[in-house]
Structure 1
Amino acid sequence: MWMCAGFTMLEAGSVRSKSASMICMKNIGLYAIAGLMYYVIGYNLMYVDVGSVIGSISFLYGPSADEVALIGGNEGAAGAVAENGYSVMSDWFFQMVFVATTASIVSGALAERVKLWTFFVFVGGLTGVIYPIVGAWTWGGGWLGQMGFTDFAGSTIVHSTGGWAALAGALVVGPRWGKYRKDGSIQPTPPSNIPAVTLGVFILWMGWFGFNGGSELALSGVVNAVSMSNILVNTNLAAGAGVITALCLSRSILGRVDLFATLNGAISGMVAIT
């Protein structure tokens, strides 16, 4: 959820002042829609009774029967719940934040290009159907997973799915409003708030530790602790390497250091290590 705040700051600060409030509206709206759609149908499509392509076409996801019994006062169900290793709704929440991140990628790509309600309809389809089906192929144990495909923290399932969805949207709606002059030359669109963009990247940097580190899915023993610590360090190193690489490339290509290239370098490094 904190990453959605980072995306909001990054996007709102990158666009013109007149579009900043709409960007904020899109981001809080997409987070709400992602949660509702993933609860209504998305999680079932992705994880429940998955065959080779798709999971259960059923509505609403909730606690397991053992958890319901435990909440209802049946302490005898505690053993079965503990044996599962985690609360099923905790897994739903963790996965829901991933699907919201996928939608946030699309939001950034379509900034100043799409109407609010059209975007919300697109997000509903992405988070309720498209992303869960891709997830069912992989994390859900579908045909890609059966072939040995591995995606530790969502480099393909989250970032690639979001990227392809963003590309499809950009191809349909065309260039950003006001991006080009009548003669085809580029019209500069300076960002409205550079500190907000920088803060957004720092928030994403911190949120990525939960994104990657949380994908260890457990912290109950020495092995988990060692694995997670290495994941966190590698994530930080990747972001730092991305910053320095972008800084050097912008100096050599543009003849000057460029803040936006440097900030994107941090994000690129974290996407790459994911």
Structure 2
Amino acid sequence: MTTAALSAGLDTTWVVLTAAMILLMEGGFALLEAGFVRHKNNVNIIMKVFADITIGTLCFYFIGFGLMYGADFLGLIGTNGFMLNGNLSHLKFSISLDTLWLFQAAFVIAVVSIVSGAVAERINFRAYLLYVVLMTAFIYPIAGHWVWGGGWISKLGMLDFAGSAVIHALGGFSALAAAILIGPRKGKFTSGGTSSIALPSNLPLASVGAFLLWFGWFGFNAGSTLSATDERIGHIAIVTMLSAAAGGAVTMIYTLFRYNRSDAPSVINGSLAGLVGITAGCAFVSDQSAILIGAVSGLLMMAATNWLEAKRIDDPVGAFPVHAVSGMWGTIAVGLFSTDGGLFTDGGWHLLGVQLLGLAVLCAWGFLLTWFGLKIIRLWIPIRATEEEEEVGLDISYHGIMAVHRSREFIKYEGPYTQIQQDDFDD
């Protein structure tokens, strides 16, 4: 076996393993979001994650990958590579095309899962399925082409190593558009503007979800080298750890002194904010910069959460504060702290300008395409659950079963689970 063949084999093994780690993050999303919402909507959260994985994977295979990595047309879209067919010789990777697809498929699933949390407990499940198609086949792949597929933003020199902008900021602003358009949960805000709190159903479950996301993030960031022999892997891993720790520590201390208690949901989201913040610059910034990036991400997440409440925007899991705001900061931080071209480290303004331009375009793209996409979807299907469905819970309304119940007897019925009625459950 030649050295080149051995290196290619190692790279393939590395990328497949890290893709699997990223896919495991869907378990993290499922547990995190299920723990943050009420019991009557737990199954709906899980089903939306399965929709992300199943429908999203197929859409990316048939359409999305070609738009993202196909031969460039005017810097805007890819034009071939659909179903992994066609001449893709312009892609210069040591890994196979199949391996690259698998890694990016795990990414696209993560993007749409961000939106899932922001519209939890009130989106019509059928409308959500159509939105999954829109995001995984068009919104994310086209934006990904601009930055990672040889499109116009990449030609300007934007740096987004693992997706603070392409994945998190875009996904977070898509989530904001969806949350605004669908509206808050029933009872969340009073007519006088007072905000009510729906207590999380299971914070230990949410924390396990956060730990799974944290674990998967090492694949998210370090796997983006697409090479097992890249000397930056160790550095990427340590700055990922440091930023997440700084985000969680800052929110822990902040809530302790601000509210005289250390708030568990805030600490969970603070750690995730640190992970989002370092995703763009994990290969470009120092350890010390990573700590600062993570700490600022945690504080910005808290500020954005308060902003949402003031604007009467309902985001049950904090998708916008964690992903959009921290993703924006992480993208800008590359322009400030990159060891090559950063304003504070190398005295250059160009990179910062490119980062700001690319970020603005990606955020606007996610927000506007989601806004108009959902408006089009609701011409055929209501995008919001009815008041009755929301009151009963989306688990029973859309899936015919609850995550937690106390019935000790067999339920006598004929047909699938969807025929079970709420009264059949002794809860």
2:104 to 91, 95, 108: 95
Deviations 1:20-66 (A, max 9, x none): 11111111111111101100000000011112111116742259799
Look up the match of 1:193. Answer: 202
Among residues 240, 243, 266, which one is paired with 1:238 in the alignment?
Answer: 243
Cα separation, 2, equivalents of 1:181 and 1:16: 19
* Helix, strand or coil at the partner of 2:141: helix
Q: Mean Cα displacement is larger for which, 56-65 or 246-255?
A: 56-65
Given that residues 35 and 96 in structure 1 are in contact (C-alpha distance below 8 angstroms), is that contact kept between their aligned partners in structure 2? yes
Q: 1:88 to 1:63 in 2, by over 3 A?
A: farther
Q: CA deviation at 1:236?
A: 0.6
User: Across the two proteins, how many residue pairs are aligned to each other?
Assistant: 254
SS in 1 for 2:41: helix
- 1:209–1:232 Cα contact (<8 Å) kept: yes
1:232-253 residue CA offsets vs partner (Å, 9 max, x unmatched): 1110111111111010111122
Corresponding residue for residue 77 of structure 2: 54
Distance 1:126 1:60 in 2: 17
Q: CA deviation at 1:183?
A: 4.8
1:115 equivalent in structure 2: 124
The residue that corresponds to 1:212 in the other structure is: 221
Residue aligning to 1:270: 275
> In the alignment, what sits opposite 2:39?
17
- Give the TM-score, by structure 1 length: 0.88
Residue of structure 2 equivalent to 1:173: 182
Identity of aligned residues (%): 40
Distance 1:137 1:258 in 2: 39
Structure 1 residue 138 and structure 2 residue 147: aligned?
yes
Question: What's the CA shift for 1:142?
Answer: 0.7
TM-score between both structures, scaled by the size of structure 2: 0.57
Post-superposition CA distance 1:214-259 (Å, at most 9, x none): 0111013xxx1x3101101110111111111010111122221100
Letter in 2 for 1:196: L
Question: Structure 2: 5+ residue runs without aligned partners?
Answer: 1-22, 280-427
Per-residue CA shift, 1:100-132, capped at 9, x if unaligned? 100010001111121111111111101100101
- Answer yes or no: is the 8 Å Cα contact 1:17–1:192 preserved in 2: yes
Q: Does 2:251 align with 1:229?
A: no
Q: Which runs of 5+ in 1 are unaligned?
A: 67-82
Partner of residue 72, structure 1: none
- Root-mean-square deviation (CA, aligned residues, Å) is 1.8
Choose which of 105, 121, 132 in structure 1 pairs with 2:114.
Answer: 105
Matching residue of 2:211: 202
